[in-house]
Amino acid sequence: MSDKPASVPADPAALHPMPGQPRVVLLKPLVTSPLIEVGEFSYYDDPDDPAAFETRNVLYHYGPEKLIIGKFCALATGVRFIMNGANHRMDGPSTFPFPIMGGSWGDHVDLVTGLPSRGDTVVGNDVWFGNGVTVMPGVRIGHGAIVSTGSVVTGDVPDYGIVGGNPARLIRTRYNDSDISRLLAVAWWDWPVDHITAHVRTIMSGSIADLEAAAEELK
């Protein structure tokens, strides 16, 4: 019988996964809004109030559009998602939303309802956001992407793309098209957590071939 201790996976239900670091929270056990979906192990880091993510970092979320964030995403301090409720009319002389001020102006509420929607904001798996990133409504960010510090993401980001700037532009992709297809086929983020635990080193520093070999073990 082996004396080696059993491998214990990290706990996806732990609000604060890093001992002694209350600034880091896992988002899945934190969020309560039915309009926000977050996959396991995606985390947010903020020295001030990380537990207020839903109100401080998801802005103008008046519905019905959803914010969907995949698994194993890393969100640095100040990452914010601007939702479709931030939109104002732009087809008249003024963009001011008079009806929301109340009084008799509220009789014109039809002027601020039914504004065009860009749909849900969707973030793939294994996405890394740098400090102070802003994501605009309806954006889709692919698996394995990296969003540089201070970027304003106004358009879709491809799988394994690296983007930066305001507005964010594609700097390069992390792999060529063939290798990206192989990585998406492996989809390590969907492995059982025990299998991920057994192959952490491969996931972090191995080759694509190593990942494919680990994936074969599940068949």
Chain mean position to CA 121: 9
Closest CA to 75 of 11, 27, 121, 39: 27
Which run of H or E residues covers position 55? helix 53-56
CA–CA gap between residue 161 and residue 120 (Å, rounded): 20
Closest CA to 115 of 139, 74, 84: 84
61 is catalytic: no
Which run of H or E residues covers position 178? helix 177-186
Q: First CA to last CA across the chain, in angstroms? A: 27
Identified catalytic residue from 16, 88, 108, 195: 88
Q: Which residues are catalytic?
A: 88
